[in-house]
Amino acid sequence: MDTGDWIRRDTCLWELPPSGAMRVPVRIHAGPALMEAMDEKVRQQAANVACLPGIVGASHVMPDGHWGYGFPIGGVAAFDGARGGVVSAGGVGFDVSCGVRALRTGLTDAALDPVRRELADALQREIPAGVGSQGSIHLDGPEMRGMLSGGARWAVQSGWGAAADLERIEEHGRMEGADPGAVSETARQRQRDAMGTLGSGNHYLEVQEVTRVVDAAIAAAWGLRRGELVVMIHCGSRGLGHQIGTEFLQEMLASAPAHGLHLPDRELACAPIDSELGQRYLGAMRAAINCALANRQILTHLTRSVFGRFFPGLAMPLLFDVSHNTCKLETHTLEGVERQLHVHRKGATRAFGPGHPSLPDDLRTTGQPVLIGGSMGTASWMLAGTAASEAVAFSSACHGAGRAMSRQQALRRWNGRQLVDELAGRGILIRCRSSREVAEEAPGAYKDVDAVVEDADRVGLARRVLRLEPRITVKG
């Protein structure tokens, strides 16, 4: 990206002042290397977001930012409904509440070694993954409504997991304000047999080893140490969330003139927060959040069951679960005044700092775990939310490394079978039903995750705690 007309406010903060129809500035939180590597479309998309009614503060881009649908991926924007603010389906994304959860194991890589291949095979066999994947769970009408309104709480009540898990999940496992009635029959049908499945793309279940500890005090408070194995699960609301996004984007686009909205980009279709359409979308989107929370909860239960056969009595407590494609109504202080804002995070993770009332007691001293998933064959990170993060970008942080090239470009460059063999040579077992999926998600198709989290740390979005490297990866 050409930085010629950007104002460099700090080492990792670039600002594009308002011009034309922009109501607020654009702020990109990245060092020079990541900033210059971003494509120009990030600038245009972030500037378009800055034109939307009711936006406050700034249109933010995280250090892993790259262009997406409407909003850049890694985009954060807050809107004030009392001042004509809007809600945008493009600002949430199609995979509503895609997110990451981390499970502690207490195991070491040496303990894993005798059963590594058998465990990898069992996880692939019993964790449905891939395009159109279906599980053994079939939801009838009442069960579907219960899942959409109850989220992970519904899953626990149905026998998947323990009540103790709920305290370690964003929104305590259930998103308030969900409206199952706003979810179409088509969306429900797409999800009827898809609960407890990973899906495809960059979704995965991964066994990882803590290889570096940056903040020993926080790591210890989280019960983690160097050499310990962690399981990360990365997935979302599957076909239901995608259908909700598709349907409401079309409806928002068609209704824009009636709401007096002049869109800088069709992909930024939106509706006033206080409109009937805006409220209906929020109800459906919150139901999709519950779907994703329930899905990850079921996957957790399946994962524990597999591990339990190899390591009888293993507890695998949940550290945390957090989403990165949402719109949440939150209280934030802006210009010294507390305000109720609808914060869109697309490819960005909530990062509440120490003392936040939504966190469990033992996490209030450390700040919220911020789970940064890597790509197959690359490192992942755990960071902690900071007190400064609210003022920087509405308590938000990056969610991953961010793509450096498209899936088509990756397919032209890498061979999936060769990648599996190369990674096996590094001690990383890949289990994937499609060599095409492996090539699309090649490690080299993503930015350097270490550079991304270093910039996030420097700017105050979140604080680095520990680095993890993959040992087993199950993908769609």
The residues carrying an active-site annotation are 399
String of DSSP letters for 195-248: TT---STT-EEEEEEEEEES-HHHHHHTT--TTEEEEEEEE--HHHHHHHHHHH
Mean pLDDT of 362-381: 93
Give residue-wise pLDDT tens across range 440-452: 888 787 889 999 9
C-alpha–C-alpha distance, residues 63 and 402, integer Å: 9
Q: Is the pLDDT score of 19 beyond 90?
A: yes
Give residue-wise pLDDT tens across range 382-400: 999 999 999 999 999 999 8
Residue-averaged pLDDT of the chain: 94
∠ CA 349-350-352, rounded to 5° = 145
C-alpha–C-alpha distance, residues 441 and 475, integer Å: 10
Q: Which residues have a Cβ under 8 Å from the Cβ of 447 and sit 6 or more positions away?
A: 34, 37, 64, 401, 402, 403, 404
- Looking at 50-64, 285-299, 404-418, 453-467, which range is the least confident one? 404-418
| Domains of the chain by residue range | 7-475
Q: Can you give the pLDDT at residue 235?
A: 95
Which position has the token pair 């500037």?
A: 47
String of DSSP letters for 33-46: HHHHHS-HHHHHHH
Which position has the token pair 């202080």?
A: 333
User: Two tokens at 30?
Assistant: 């990245």
- SS3 assignment, position 9: strand
Q: What is the pTM of this model?
A: 0.96
Q: Can you give the pLDDT at residue 397?
A: 97
Would you say 233 and 299 are in contact if contact means Cβ atoms under 8 Å apart?
yes
C-alpha–C-alpha distance, residues 166 and 443, integer Å: 33
Q: Can you give the pLDDT at residue 438?
A: 84
Q: Is the pLDDT score of 22 beyond 80?
A: yes
Look at 404 and 352; give whichever has higher pLDDT.
352
Q: What is the largest CA-CA distance in the chain?
A: 64
Would you say 16 and 51 are in contact if contact means Cβ atoms under 8 Å apart?
no
Give residue-wise pLDDT tens across range 72-108: 999 999 999 999 999 999 999 999 999 999 999 999 9
Q: Which residues have a Cβ under 8 Å from the Cβ of 254 and sit 6 or more positions away?
A: none
Share of the chain above pLDDT 90, in %: 86
Q: Is the pLDDT score of 404 beyond 80?
A: no
Give residue-wise pLDDT tens across range 222-250: 999 999 999 999 999 999 999 999 999 99
C-alpha–C-alpha distance, residues 112 and 92, integer Å: 38
C-alpha–C-alpha distance, residues 250 and 263, integer Å: 13
| Residue 365 binned pLDDT confidence (cut-offs 50, 70, 90) | very high
Which overall architecture, per CATH, does domain 7-475 show?
Alpha-Beta Complex (3.90)
Would you say 206 and 474 are in contact if contact means Cβ atoms under 8 Å apart?
yes
Give residue-wise pLDDT tens across range 101-127: 999 999 999 999 999 999 999 999 999
Mean pLDDT of 267-274: 97
Q: Is the pLDDT score of 408 beyond 90?
A: no
Mean pLDDT of 145-156: 98
The β-bridge relationship of strands 73-79 and 429-432 is unpaired
Q: Can you give the pLDDT at residue 351?
A: 97
Q: What are phi and psi of 233, to 5 degrees?
A: -120, 125
Q: Can you give the pLDDT at residue 130?
A: 65
